[in-house]
Structure 1
Amino acid sequence: MDTPATDAAVPSSTRTAGKRTGHHRSGSALRRRTGCEGTPEPRRHGAARARLLAAAREEFAAHGMGGARVGRIAEQAGANKERIYGYFGSKEKLFAAVVAEALAEQAALLGLPTGDPAEYAGRIFDLHQQNPHMLRLMMWEALHYGTGTLPAEEQRTARYRDMITELSATLNTPADPRTAHTFLALLGIAVLPAAFPQLTRLILGPAADAPVTRHHIVELARRMMADRPAAEPAPRT
């Protein structure tokens, strides 16, 4: 009668080779699941996407949508152009993703207009002095799309509506067009020095001091809040 095969009946060299083969197969499967160096695939792809977005932000901020080159972005990120199209689909969609990321960062850094609206204008000034790429991207976006529909326009409009609602609660006024114009004016006086540095230099001189400019912006915003008209002017007929 045949005896069932056991480890004792198998040469030790064969058992060792089998173990090595099994270990090799399991290791290969692990590498396929995780990518090189044992890094999980989702994490590796997330890191690659982040590098592409960072390189694209530099490129788009410097050259805009029309002047940016996908090849330069890929080279800066240590990737190839095919990966960019695989992640984003097109250069325009990559630009939209860069702008969306910058706006999300801006919202997190700036927050809603709670507290003193004049100091909120000061925070806007600080934000754009410290993060010039954000404003450049917005200006390039304006040049590229003009009056056309923006990517994620509905979501962005809703975000600004939330800011106007918060400002109206701070001022104890309705969230009406008058409050929206007040919010737009706060943005305007706070953003202009960073948006037009050449104009700032021509008016204030080459030795213009940012803290002094910030102080004047905050004080002007405070006077704007104090001098707001009591009612909307009647429309022209």
Structure 2
Amino acid sequence: MLRDMPNSPGPRARSSAAATKQALLDSARDEFAEHGIAGARVDRIAKRAGVNKERIYGYFGNKEKLFDAVMKAAMDELVEVTAMPGDNPVDYVGKLFDYYVRNPVLLRLLLWESLYHRTNTLPEQQWRVDRCRQKVVSLADRLGEEPSDEIGRTVLTLKGLALMPMVMPQIAALFGASMDTPESIAQMREHVMAFARTAMENRTTAE
């Protein structure tokens, strides 16, 4: 029977470390969503998680890397619940819309990341490139085309349809498009899906 090496952590220690790391990620998600990268405080994150803040540096290195880990986890969750756009572009928009309605924290994280200036490429850049490429290839296959920048713009627009109503609620209200009731949310969902349906139909017809 295999046994742990004398200097390696045992199952209980590994389980405790995993639980601590997850607690920090959960706490950090709330903190970053509320305050952004610059405004977030590692001492508040640690306090929410019930651990010493030195654990943050031990597990993640620094605050930026902790934010990157939070984003990776949040985007992994999104990928798990949404199909590829090529399966059905209209349903793709609807499922994204539903997810953003249920998970406004992800939208806030994405917006904070966009506002936070970084001189280098995004962390996990290749992972993100690969995921986006998969979506482009998926829609290209659906349309019977080769992947291209134009297909990429189409995927981006589909994603924009799904998230825009939640990104600027004040502007939406000015246009009489508030989503403050279940009925208004359902109406907006149908609207963006209908918009996507018409756009995809017109695109196919034009070709």
Q: Using structure 1 for the length normalisation, give the TM-score.
A: 0.78
Q: How does 1:45-124 map to 2 (within 5 A)?
A: 45-124=17-96
Deviates more, 1:216-225 or 1:171-180: 171-180
Is 1:198 the counterpart of 2:170 in the alignment?
Answer: yes
User: Partner amino acid for 2:71?
Assistant: V
Cα distance, 1:63–1:100 mapped onto 2, change above 3 Å: same
Partners of 2:9 and 2:17 in 1: how far apart?
Answer: 13
Structure-1 residue corresponding to 2:185: 210
Compute the displacement of 1:188 (Å): 1.0
Deviates more, 1:210-219 or 1:191-200: 191-200
Is 1:140 the counterpart of 2:112 in the alignment?
Answer: yes
Compute the displacement of 1:150 (Å): 0.5
Could you list the runs of 5+ residues in structure 1 that have no partner in the other structure?
A: 1-31, 232-237
Cα RMSD for the two superposed structures: 2.0
Partners of 2:19 and 2:99 in 1: how far apart?
Answer: 26
- Contact 2:107–2:167 under 8 Å retained in 1: yes
SS class of match (1:165): helix
Compute the displacement of 1:139 (Å): 0.8
Name which structure has the greater RCO, CA cutoff 8 Å, separation 6+. 2
Q: Using structure 2 for the length normalisation, give the TM-score.
A: 0.88
Could you list the runs of 5+ residues in structure 2 that have no partner in the other structure?
A: 1-7
| Runs of 4+ in structure 1 over 4 Å off | 205-208
Is 1:224 the counterpart of 2:196 in the alignment?
Answer: no
User: Partner amino acid for 1:69?
Assistant: R
Is 1:183 the counterpart of 2:155 in the alignment?
Answer: yes
Partners of 1:111 and 1:119 in 2: how far apart?
Answer: 9
Deviates more, 1:69-78 or 1:162-171: 162-171
Specify the structure having the higher radius of gyration (Cα): 1
- Contact 2:33–2:109 under 8 Å retained in 1: yes
Compute the displacement of 1:59 (Å): 0.1
Aligned with 1:168 (options 111, 122, 140): 140
SS class of match (1:173): coil
Cα distance, 1:139–1:148 mapped onto 2, change above 3 Å: farther
SS class of match (1:115): coil
- Contact 2:86–2:140 under 8 Å retained in 1: no
How many residue pairs get matched? 197
Cα distance, 1:200–1:146 mapped onto 2, change above 3 Å: farther
Using the aligned pairs only, state the percent identity.
Answer: 39
